[in-house]
Amino acid sequence: MSDRKIQISLPSIGEEEWLACKDPLMSGWVTQGPKVALFEKAFAERHGVKHAIAVTSCTTALHLALVGLGIKAGDEVIVPAFTWVATANVVLYCGATPVLVDVDPKTFNIDIEQARARVTEKTRAVIAVHLFGRCADVDALREALPHNVAIVEDAACAAGAELAEGRCAGGLGDVAAFSFHPRKSITTGEGGMVTTNDSVLAERMLQARNHGASISEEQRHAGPRPYLLPEFNLLGFNYRMTDIQGAIGVVQLGKLDELLTEREHWAAWYSEQLADIDCIRTPAPSPSGRHGWQAYVLYIDLDKSPVARNELMSALEELGVSTRPGTHAVHMLGYYKNEYHYQDEDFPNARDCNNQTMAIPLHNRMQADDYQFVVQCIRRIICG
């Protein structure tokens, strides 16, 4: 056993975030208010989109996006089979049917040909997941799909990521959802953001975020008759972010580029250091854009590896290096397996990614010697 402990992920939060909380706490306006508005404005600017709407998580952001698009019972939404379970769950929240398709094991993103093949007259949207921060090829997807099928970006891992120079996640499809969970590159504890360039869609999502109210609480308080309740003409939810989180978000967003640059540097370093290990495939860099590097995920070739993936993970844990499977295959999870009678081999690439991927530590609280230690430990176990 080693006394060294390198976490898979740690948020980069410090004194500035702590100080930023003072304002909302002392002012007494702690729910969605001026800080959230600032965060939304800065987030929209940074990602080159017209509208950014802060919510409680990426899961609620995705749900709001589907509600805004009017997705309902009887509709189908195409979802990649290798993604976090929330991507598929939100389709069920709308009473619609998630239609799983396989992924490309090189990019971990949706297989566009297979997505095209699964379109029916009931298909209303495709959720393109920018998994681990690598943008899905939304342009190719757009070309492959009929025009009435909306593209929803699951940009949970992709704050600041680009498909191509100047083309940021968040404005690539019709609507996008981001996460500020502590495992993503910037965090507000829990939190999310939905972005779009469509003003009509934005208006519907703004109302649905706040119980379906026709005007926001802030507008009501600032208006001439703050004592009157607004109208409620659609079924909404309470998905509002707190102003404490908004204040933290403003500070975190200000650090995004610095955090991404550091992650880019170490991701490239890992790929260089691990390049000669036969049984490891390092993650494909983005051909023209910018990878968001939410996670650095290896693909282990089990035919060539002297150890199985789980053995490798447990040996690394014992040496003090935390790892995780990249993510899971939705069709192999109990709920989906039981409900839809999926077999593991229904989506063979997703199954293999489920069994053969491994995220190794990459975050902004690591030092150079931590990265060196991770590589040494991997080499010691695999190369002997």
Ligand X SMILES: *Cc1c(COP(=O)(O)O)cnc(C)c1O
- Residues near ligand X, by CB under 6 A: 57-59, 83-84, 86-87, 129, 131, 154, 156-157, 179, 181, 192
d(CA 250, CA 15): 14
Q: How far is the CB of 93 from ligand X (least distance, A)?
A: 12
Concerning whether 184 is annotated as a catalytic residue, the answer is yes
Q: How far is the CB of 134 from ligand X (least distance, A)?
A: 11
Residue 103 vs 312, nearer CB to ligand X: 103
d(CA 222, CA 42): 22
CA 161 to chain centre: 11
Residue 152 vs 277, nearer CB to ligand X: 152
Residue 158 vs 374, nearer CB to ligand X: 158
Q: How far is the CB of 158 from ligand X (least distance, A)?
A: 9
Residue 79 vs 145, nearer CB to ligand X: 79
Q: Indicate the residue type of 264.
A: E
Q: Which of 105, 322, 333, 362 is nearest to 312 (CA)?
A: 322
Which positions ≥6 away from 276 have C-beta within 8 Å? none
List 5, 35, 122, 184, catalytic entry: 184
Residue 86 vs 251, nearer CB to ligand X: 86
Beta strand 175-179 with 150-154 is parallel
Residue 61 vs 382, nearer CB to ligand X: 61
Q: Which residues are catalytic?
A: 184
